[in-house]
């Protein structure tokens, strides 16, 4: 039986793009994703999100625990009409019976997009190298790019009156974490004045600083690296993150004694920054270490808007990376397959 000619909108497969780091994207491309976030957030509030992920699946590999990243991607897929698969190392063969290349090629044949939260950036880079569907970095030892989409969007939502994004002065206070790296990259790309404030021993490597300075040359932003917490004065946003993460437990005592009390974001530090300064944290937060509960609960804290915007970001990322593969079959093609299968079932 001959397949009828189809009027399907079978768009040419675009060049495959992954979302491993925001540095791979121009300011204009990232702005397109922010625009999409705004529209999808508005649609969600109206309970009218277009089913742009219908019939699609995201395979989510998690080598580390997660609340926000897992729930936001899973919920985003559902809201958009699709499905999310949670794949922990206990559930799949990755790194045990099967290598990354084979796992990536197999998952690519079954899901429409992959997301991986991994211990080592190389793992997510290797997944992407062998994938034939887009791969999103859901956090690695170096970067946390999906968090940045939520963070900058939250800054846009809470811009001080009369200011644009490029007018902001943002200070990250603490350790050179994956959030610190990603934040310094995206803020300098968007022309903000960015400060990393932390003890010399745990400051960012020169390669990160070079990237931030290169971004500033293009964007007109500025970058400051300092140990001096007096630098919080005049900042629009102070950002905190954990003082140690998975794999750094051996350094815990040294880290805590180095960071506490000088680099803890307290109400006193917020007041020093200024009366309009906002507080951000990707969460989970430890309110007896990097910040106080008082700051987290204060009116200037936007941490729960920031967390909600993880969902906003994931909706946009799912749509942004899969919409070009949408194939709408003609009624004739659908009828052809219906009839063929129905006729076959009658013979059973
Ligand atoms: N901020 C963040 O990535 O949170 P989870 O570890 O809960 O995913």
3 state SS for 103-117: HHHHHHHHCCEEEEE
82 lies in some domain? yes
Whether 293 and 230 map to the same domain: the answer is yes
Q: Token match 């967390």: residue?
A: 307
Mutate to test the pocket of ligand 1, among 76, 241, 310, 317 (most ligand atoms within 8 A of CB): 310
Cβ of 147 less than 6 Å from ligand 1: yes
With cut-offs at 50, 70 and 90, classify the pLDDT of residue 3.
Answer: low
Whether the link from the prior residue into 173 is cis, omega within 30° of 0, is no
Mutate to test the pocket of ligand 1, among 69, 146, 180, 183 (most ligand atoms within 8 A of CB): 69
Closest residue by Cα to residue 223 from 181, 283, 164, 263? 181
Can you tell me the distance from the alpha carbon of 141 to that of 162, in angstroms, rounded to the nearest whole number? 37
10 lies in some domain? no
Q: What are the tens digits of pLDDT across the range 257-302?
A: 999 999 999 999 999 999 999 999 999 999 999 999 999 999 999 9
Check 18, 68, 70, 117 and give the catalytic one.
117
Residue 280's SS3 state is strand
154 lies in some domain? no
Asked if the model's pLDDT at residue 5 lies above 70, the reply is: no
pLDDT of residue 12: 43
Mean pLDDT is lowest, of 5-14, 32-41, 124-133, for: 5-14
Mutate to test the pocket of ligand 1, among 66, 150, 181 (most ligand atoms within 8 A of CB): 66
Whether 164 and 275 map to the same domain: the answer is yes
Whether 188 and 234 map to the same domain: the answer is yes
With cut-offs at 50, 70 and 90, classify the pLDDT of residue 149.
Answer: very high
Whether 296 and 312 map to the same domain: the answer is no
Domain that holds residue 87: 22-144+308-324
Ligand 1: atom nearest CA of 64 is: 6
Residue 277's SS3 state is coil
pLDDT of residue 1: 57
Closest residue by Cα to residue 155 from 37, 319, 28? 37
With cut-offs at 50, 70 and 90, classify the pLDDT of residue 2.
Answer: low
Q: What are the tens digits of pLDDT across the range 187-224?
A: 999 999 999 999 999 999 999 999 999 999 999 999 99
Q: What does the pLDDT average to over 73-102?
A: 94
With cut-offs at 50, 70 and 90, classify the pLDDT of residue 14.
Answer: low
CA of 111 to the centre of ligand 1 (A): 23
Asked if the model's pLDDT at residue 146 lies above 70, the reply is: yes
With cut-offs at 50, 70 and 90, classify the pLDDT of residue 4.
Answer: low
Structural domain total, the chain? 2
Can you tell me the distance from the alpha carbon of 84 to that of 286, in angstroms, rounded to the nearest whole number? 29
28 lies in some domain? yes
Whether 135 and 186 map to the same domain: the answer is no
Whether 101 and 175 map to the same domain: the answer is no
273 lies in some domain? yes
54 lies in some domain? yes
CATH number at residue 79: 3.40.50.1370
pTM of the model: 0.94
254 lies in some domain? yes
Length of the chain: 348
Whether 99 and 178 map to the same domain: the answer is no
Cβ of 140 less than 6 Å from ligand 1: no
Mean pLDDT is lowest, of 74-88, 169-183, 246-260, for: 246-260
pLDDT of residue 248: 84
Whether 166 and 126 map to the same domain: the answer is no
**CB neighbour class for 192 (10 Å; exposed up to 12, middle 13-18, buried from 19):** buried
The token pair at 155 is 């800054």
Asked if the model's pLDDT at residue 25 lies above 80, the reply is: yes
The token pair at 344 is 């076959």
**CB neighbour class for 205 (10 Å; exposed up to 12, middle 13-18, buried from 19):** exposed
Check 282, 289, 291, 314 and give the catalytic one.
282
Asked about 216 being catalytic, the answer comes back as no
211 lies in some domain? yes
Backbone φ and ψ for 290, nearest 5 degrees, come out as -75, -15
Whether 131 and 209 map to the same domain: the answer is no
CA of 313 to the centre of ligand 1 (A): 13
Ligand 1: atom nearest CA of 282 is: 1
240 in Cβ contact with 269 (< 8 Å): no
pLDDT of residue 240: 98
pLDDT of residue 245: 83
Residue 231, C-beta contacts closer than 8 angstroms, at least 6 positions apart: 171, 195, 197, 224
Whether 288 and 265 map to the same domain: the answer is yes
pLDDT of residue 328: 79
Whether 190 and 246 map to the same domain: the answer is yes
Can you tell me the distance from the alpha carbon of 140 to that of 126, in angstroms, rounded to the nearest whole number? 13
Whether 167 and 291 map to the same domain: the answer is yes
Can you tell me the distance from the alpha carbon of 196 to that of 173, in angstroms, rounded to the nearest whole number? 6
pLDDT of residue 10: 35
Q: What are the start-end ranges of the H helices in the chain?
A: 27-45, 68-79, 100-110, 121-130, 145-157, 178-189, 206-219, 252-259, 267-273, 293-297, 303-322, 331-346
Q: What is the DSSP string of 221-275?
A: -EEEEES-GGGGTT-SEEEE--S--TT-GGGHHHHHHHHTTTT-B-HHHHHHH-T
């Amino acid at each position: 039986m001959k397949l009828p000619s189809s009027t399907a909108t079978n768009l040419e497969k675009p060049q495959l793009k992954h979302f491993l780091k925001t540095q791979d994207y121009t300011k204009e491309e990232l702005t397109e994703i922010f625009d999409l976030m705004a529209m999808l957030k508005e649609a969600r509030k109206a309970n009218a999100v277009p089913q742009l992920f219908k019939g699609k699946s995201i395979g989510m590999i998690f080598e580390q625990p997660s609340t926000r990243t897992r729930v936001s991607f899973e919920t985003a897929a559902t809201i958009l009409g699709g499905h999310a698969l949670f794949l922990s190392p206990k559930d799949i063969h990755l790194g045990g019976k099967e290598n990354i290349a084979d796992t990536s090629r197999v998952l690519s044949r079954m899901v429409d997009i992959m997301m991986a939260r991994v211990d080592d950036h190389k793992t997510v880079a290797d997944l992407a190298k062998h994938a034939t569907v887009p791969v999103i970095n859901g956090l690695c030892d170096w970067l946390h790019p999906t968090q940045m989409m939520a963070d900058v969007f939250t800054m846009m939502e809470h811009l001080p009156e009369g200011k644009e994004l490029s007018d902001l002065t943002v200070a990250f206070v603490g350790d050179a974490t994956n959030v610190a790296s990603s934040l310094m990259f995206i803020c300098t790309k968007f022309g903000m004045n960015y400060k990393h404030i932390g003890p010399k021993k745990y400051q960012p490597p020169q390669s990160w600083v070079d990237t931030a300075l290169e971004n500033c040359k293009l964007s007109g932003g500025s970058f400051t690296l300092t140990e001096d917490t007096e630098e919080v004065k005049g900042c629009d946003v102070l950002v905190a993150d954990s003082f140690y993460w998975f794999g750094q437990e051996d350094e815990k005592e040294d880290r805590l004694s180095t960071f506490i009390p000088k680099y803890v974001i307290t109400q006193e530090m917020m007041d020093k920054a200024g009366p309009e300064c906002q507080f951000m944290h990707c969460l989970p937060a430890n309110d007896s270490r990097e910040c106080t509960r008082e700051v987290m609960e204060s009116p200037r804290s936007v941490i729960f808007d920031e967390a909600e915007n993880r969902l906003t970001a994931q909706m946009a990322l799912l749509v942004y990376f899969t919409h070009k593969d949408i194939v709408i079959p003609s009624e004739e093609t659908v009828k052809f397959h219906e009839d063929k299968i129905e006729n076959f079932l009658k013979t059973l």
